[in-house]
């Protein structure tokens, strides 16, 4: 197929890659061999070398096998970004298992649904979450809960809140309750990694966000994930494997974006992972100031939070060389401001859980277009199709984005019908609406399900949100369609203002009318202190839609 974007590829960036078909755990194996004494993980003052992480992962893998883990079994990781996550992730892979990505903020009901769907029989989690985990264990196939404390890897002692009572024989824990302490891995010998088929064996079950329906388990093979790391590494053509680089890892590893762009990318290249367990603006600013990370993958809400911090000028952010913004559209104003304070480059990228996740990005050091998601990565094909799902759209015409490449998932876990609905001859139907410009740069307009039809016109929330972000009083904005008896739907905007700044509906209306056609201008505004978000900072538009529907039902009853 014609790939007009290749004309803009930098000379140092390959159009195609000679992939090595290897297990995902090879990233750690090789880093531990090539850079054994180099810092792999830093966490609130504690540092572990690649050799230490590798040894811990191999020993934990042996412990997991002693608890019954066999090749292909699923293990749920319900942890924030901490050394235990890194060790557990590679331990499961070394043992031949499949990692089930699990959000620590899940409710008991959500956790039960995920464990039941995945069939996981081992859960690795924090002691803080042990009571909830124990209740879920009683309703699912979980046989063993491995608990750990954040304090286990802090440079100062703290007591565990939920200590596990065990007995020992020959210095090995005898599991009497179905629970075992994470640190018991030290009593086991290191494993020889399990042989796997990289193109067939599933390394990770990555559950979709569930913002548009019930989450589905995306099957990502070892090859899907190693290929995507190779593609991203090729995109960072000014970086080399083995360079002294630090990756600020605040995007959760249990999110596909953090797993690939922080954990796997950093490990494969021998970079130090600077772990931040949750996004707190002050903590992140202090960490950047002290640890001097070079690469900061993030979401727009993270960059917005930093830009709006009143003490921003106290901190030195000049170490930041490169940022890829994902999970949500990056407003142009945010991009310009963040670059001005760091001196680094921040560009928008694009991807999905179903694509490991990255498929597109703007060039970091070459041509880029504000508002565009950039161009497809090496060996990635993309096209826009019309409503029938097959006919190619014209240049500039809006249609559904279709993707093809080595990073595209194997399918949805135990859901053949849903898989067949989105995977056709190797092409993934994304459900996203967009278009391609003449130069091959792509633009995402919105999700198909988020499009608003007002008075017969198609209205795309992202376009309105971009305009709202340009107003100096607006910190965050999101738009949805609400029922309208005359127009069918009308636009409602939810606004969070900058601290200490006020703005009226009339002022925002005037601002929008200067830049948008009348039918696109919001007719309703609601000002809020905060907006509902996922753990990674993506605004949950669907929650707002559901709230509005509930209001309509209440008013009509």
- Helical pair 300-307 and 332-342, crossing angle rounded to 10 deg: 60
Residue 82 is encoded by which pair of tokens? 């901490």
pLDDT tens, 278-333?
Answer: 889 999 999 999 999 999 999 888 998 999 999 999 999 999 999 999 877 788 88
Alpha helix segments (H runs only) across 398-523 = 416-422, 461-469, 505-513
Backbone angles phi, psi at 525, to 5 degrees: -130, 145
Quote the CA–CA distance of 472 and 489 in Å, as a whole number. Answer: 28
Residues of the chain scoring pLDDT < 70: 155-177, 209-214, 448, 455-456, 486, 535, 557
Does 26-197 match 451-556 in CATH topology? no
Domain segments of the chain: what residues? 4-17+216-447, 26-197, 451-556
pLDDT for residue 552? 80
Class of domain 26-197: alpha beta
Q: What angle do CA 394, 399, 405 make, to 5 degrees?
A: 95
pLDDT of residue 557: 67
Question: What's the Rg (C-alpha) of the chain?
Answer: 24
Alpha-carbon separation of residue 294 from 39, 200, 218, 261, 290 (angstroms):
15, 35, 31, 13, 12
Is CATH 3.40.50.720 correct for 4-17+216-447?
no
Compute the C-alpha angle 278/222/237, nearest 5°. 70
Total residues found in the chain within this entry: 557
Tell me how far apart the alpha carbons of residues 19 and 343 are, in angstroms, rounded to a whole number: 34
CA distance 247 to 296: 6
Contact 281, 255 (CB under 8 A): no
Asked if residues 419 and 412 have their Cβ atoms less than 8 Å apart, the reply is yes
Task: Match domain 451-556 to its CATH number in 3.50.50.60, 3.30.300.30, 3.40.50.2300, 3.30.2320.50.
Answer: 3.30.300.30
Residue 423, SS3 per DSSP: strand
């Amino acid at each position: 197929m014609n790939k007009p974007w290749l004309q803009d590829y930098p000379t140092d960036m390959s159009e195609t890659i000679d992939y090595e078909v290897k297990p995902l755990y090879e990233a750690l194996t090789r880093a531990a061999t090539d850079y054994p004494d180099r810092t792999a993980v830093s966490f609130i003052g504690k540092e572990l070398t690649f050799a230490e992480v590798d040894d811990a992962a191999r020993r934990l893998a042996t412990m997991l096998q002693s608890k019954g883990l066999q090749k292909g079994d699923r293990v749920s990781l319900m942890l924030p970004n901490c050394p235990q996550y890194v060790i557990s992730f590679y331990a499961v892979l070394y043992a031949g298992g499949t990692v089930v990505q699990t959000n620590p903020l899940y409710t008991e009901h959500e956790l039960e649904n995920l464990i039941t769907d995945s069939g996981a029989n081992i859960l690795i989690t924090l002691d803080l979450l042990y009571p909830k985990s124990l209740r879920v264990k009683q309703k699912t196939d979980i046989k063993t809960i491995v608990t750990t404390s954040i304090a286990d890897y802090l440079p100062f002692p703290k007591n565990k809140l939920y200590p596990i009572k065990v007995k020992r024989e020959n210095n090995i824990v005898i599991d009497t309750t179905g629970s075992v302490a994470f640190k018991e891995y030290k009593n086991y010998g290191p494993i020889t990694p399990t042989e796997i088929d990289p193109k067939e064996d599933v390394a990770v079950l990555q559950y979709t966000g569930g913002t548009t329906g019930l989450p589905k388990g995306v099957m990502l093979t070892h090859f899907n994930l190693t290929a995507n790391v190779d593609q991203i590494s090729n995109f960072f053509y000014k970086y080399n494997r083995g360079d002294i680089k630090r990756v600020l890892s605040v995007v959760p590893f249990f999110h596909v974006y953090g797993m690939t762009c922080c954990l796997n990318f950093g490990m494969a290249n021998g970079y130090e992972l600077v772990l931040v367990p949750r996004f707190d603006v002050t903590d992140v600013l202090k960490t950047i100031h002290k640890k001097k990370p070079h690469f900061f993958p993030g979401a727009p809400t993270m960059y917005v939070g930093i830009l709006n911090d009143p003490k921003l000028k106290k901190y030195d952010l000049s170490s930041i060389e490169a940022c890829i913004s994902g999970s949500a559209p990056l407003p142009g104003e945010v991009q310009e401001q963040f670059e001005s304070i760091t001196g680094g480059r921040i560009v928008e990228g694009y991807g999905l859980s179903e694509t490991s996740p990255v498929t597109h990005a703007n060039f970091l050091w070459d041509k880029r277009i504000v508002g565009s998601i950039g161009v497809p990565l090496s060996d990635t094909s993309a096209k826009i199709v019309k409503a029938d799902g097959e006919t190619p759209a014209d240049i500039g015409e809006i249609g559904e984005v279709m993707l093809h490449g080595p990073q595209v998932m194997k399918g949805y876990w135990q859901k053949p019908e849903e898989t067949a609905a989105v995977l056709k001859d190797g092409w993934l139907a994304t459900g996203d609406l967009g278009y391609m410009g003449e130069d091959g740069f792509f633009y995402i307009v919105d999700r198909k399900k988020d499009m608003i039809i007002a008075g017969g016109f198609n209205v795309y929330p992202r376009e309105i949100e971009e305009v709202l972000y340009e107003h100096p009083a607006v910190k965050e904005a999101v738009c949805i369609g609400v029922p309208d008896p005359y127009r069918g739907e009308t636009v409602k905007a939810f606004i969070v203002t900058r601290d200490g700044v006020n703005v009226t509906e009339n002022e925002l209306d005037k601002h929008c009318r200067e830049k948008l056609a009348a039918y696109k201008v919001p007719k309703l505004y609601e000002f809020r202190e905060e907006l509902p978000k996922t753990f990674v900072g993506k605004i949950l538009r669907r929650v707002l839609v559901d709230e509005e529907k509930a209001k309509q039902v209440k008013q009509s009853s």
